[in-house]
């Protein structure tokens, strides 16, 4: 958790400094657009990676009403499912 907080808080600080500097140079509206484009690009990359590794399934149906279907696989059930070592009783 400490590593997560270190990365999160330093990224937040550096992002704030970079955004403030860019807003001073370019103006606030282009920086808001760049932030939105960055978030869109990041989410798209995460979805592409998850689809590539088979963690997520995405399909698009172009019918009268277009539909986007996103599906995550169900966790395994039954006796073949293994519990983590830290969760087993001693």
* 68 contacts: CB under 8 Å, gap ≥ 6: 58, 59, 60
Closest CA to 50 of 70, 21, 33, 68: 70
Q: Do 52 and 46 touch, CB atoms closer than 8 A?
A: no
- pLDDT tens sequence for the chain (90 residues): 787 777 777 778 888 888 899 999 999 999 999 989 988 999 999 989 988 888 888 888 888 888 888 888 777 666 666 666 665 555
pTM for the predicted model, two decimal places: 0.61
Give CA–CA dist 6/17, Å, rounded: 17
How much is the pLDDT for 71? Answer: 87
């Amino acid at each position: 958790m400490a590593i997560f907080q270190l990365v999160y808080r330093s990224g937040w600080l550096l992002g704030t400094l970079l955004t403030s500097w860019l807003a001073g140079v370019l103006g606030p509206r282009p920086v808001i657009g760049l932030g939105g484009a960055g978030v869109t690009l990041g989410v798209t990359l995460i979805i592409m990676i998850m689809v590539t590794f088979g963690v997520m399934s995405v399909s698009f149906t172009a019918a009268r009403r277009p539909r986007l279907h996103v599906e995550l696989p169900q966790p395994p059930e039954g006796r073949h499912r293994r519990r983590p070592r830290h969760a087993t009783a001693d």
